[in-house]
């Protein structure tokens, strides 16, 4: 096209030297104009194609933010361990999620695990999105803005959204186990060997929970008879969220159990267990009859903004 345009321009140049209106000069002039118009058209088409490609890429990126897909390596029809982790934006969020991920990565070598992370946010944040994209684990990313009031038990909205997702999986195995693994805990990978044994509801000790060195069930002749816990006899189940795992069958169907969104502080665990109809005798003591600690309640902290080195501002955490 460019060569044709040059030839046309050369013909026009000859015409300007010898100003004679002949059919050849008129044809050259017309050809030059047509080539110029064609060149403009091709340029506009290229611009349009580029704009469409950019638009498709933008829509694809947006769809990824809102679309939820089950990881291809996870098989819901097989018995699984579903780990539900509510999370919220804070300085130590990436640190805490990474700590949980390390334990799950080791445990996933032996067990069919799906990690469901639910952000307390109206949108999926970049930090968590990139963290999930770079993880080798089977992870589902959800988000739900907390709507709790005053002293309501936090993260119930997120936990319920995760439960709804899990129970909605096609062909999901009802013998699977649901565990509420918050990101403010540290986990031994062997904990998930214990959860794989759960028939109805399993329970283990939790270290550094409730201002105690360990909160633990008291086991006599293979049965839980009482608790050594902060709330002690004031509650039927004075347990931490990290202390128990429940068979998925209790969450299925129209009568499936859920967290009560407005449950008051420190009552979320007990109300969930009571809503399933569990009694003390139903608890399955694991971790060597509740004598072994495999989960710790921790509180990560970091320096305040004023203590951060200004020269490290170029370091990215995403």
Taking the C-alpha atoms of residue 111 and residue 75, their distance in angstroms, rounded to an integer, is 11
The pTM is what?
Answer: 0.77
pLDDT more than 90, % of the chain: 57
User: Tens digits of per-residue pLDDT, 98-131?
Assistant: 999 999 999 999 999 999 999 999 999 999 999 9
Over the chain, what is the mean pLDDT? 83
* Least confident among 2-11, 22-31, 91-100, 302-311: 2-11
CB atoms within 10 A of CB 17: 7
Q: Which two tokens stand for residue 125?
A: 């944040």
More confident of the two residues 70 and 230? 230
Q: Which segments within 14-159 are labelled E, that is strand?
A: 81-87, 113-119, 139-143
> Active site includes 146?
no
User: Tens digits of per-residue pLDDT, 182-202?
Assistant: 999 999 999 999 999 999 999
User: Tens digits of per-residue pLDDT, 157-181?
Assistant: 999 999 999 999 999 999 999 999 9
Taking the C-alpha atoms of residue 13 and residue 314, their distance in angstroms, rounded to an integer, is 59
Planar angle of CA 137, 155, 144, nearest 5 degrees: 70
Sequence length of the chain is 318
Among 75, 134, 174, 270, which one carries the catalytic annotation?
A: 270
User: Tens digits of per-residue pLDDT, 48-100?
Assistant: 666 666 654 554 554 444 446 566 689 999 999 999 999 999 989 999 999 99
- Among residues 231, 230, 239, 242, the alpha carbon closest in space to that of 280 is found at 239
């Amino acid at each position: 096209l460019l060569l044709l345009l040059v030839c046309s321009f050369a013909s026009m140049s000859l015409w300007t030297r010898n100003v004679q209106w002949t059919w050849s000069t008129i044809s050259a002039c017309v050809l030059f104009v047509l080539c110029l118009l064609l060149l403009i058209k091709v340029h506009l088409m290229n611009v349009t194609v580029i704009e469409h490609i950019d638009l498709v890429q933008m829509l694809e990126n947006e769809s990824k933010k809102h679309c939820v897909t089950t990881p291809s390596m996870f098989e819901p029809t097989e018995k699984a361990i579903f780990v539900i982790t509510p999370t919220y934006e804070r300085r130590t969020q990436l640190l805490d999620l990474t700590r949980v991920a390390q334990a799950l990565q080791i445990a996933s070598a032996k067990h069919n695990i799906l990690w469901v992370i639910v952000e307390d946010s109206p949108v999926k944040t970049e930090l968590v999105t990139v963290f999930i994209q770079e993880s080798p684990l089977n992870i589902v990313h959800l988000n739900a803005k907390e709507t709790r009031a005053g002293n309501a038990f936090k993260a119930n909205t997120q936990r319920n959204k995760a439960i709804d997702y899990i129970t909605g999986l096609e062909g999901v195995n009802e013998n699977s186990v649901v565990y509420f693994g918050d990101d403010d805990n540290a986990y031994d990978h062997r904990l998930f060997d214990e959860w794989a044994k759960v028939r109805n509801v399993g329970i283990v000790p939790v270290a550094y929970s409730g201002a105690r060195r360990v909160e633990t069930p008291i086991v006599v002749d293979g049965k839980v008879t009482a608790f050594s816990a902060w709330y002690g006899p004031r509650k039927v189940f004075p347990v931490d969220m990290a202390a128990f795992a429940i068979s998925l069958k209790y969450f299925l169907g129209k009568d499936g159990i859920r967290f009560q969104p407005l449950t008051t502080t420190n009552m979320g665990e007990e109300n969930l267990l009571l809503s399933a109809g569990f009694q003390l005798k139903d608890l399955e003591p694991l971790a060597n009859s509740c004598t072994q600690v495999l989960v710790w309640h921790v509180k990560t902290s970091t320096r305040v903004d004023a203590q951060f080195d200004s020269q490290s501002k170029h370091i990215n955490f995403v």
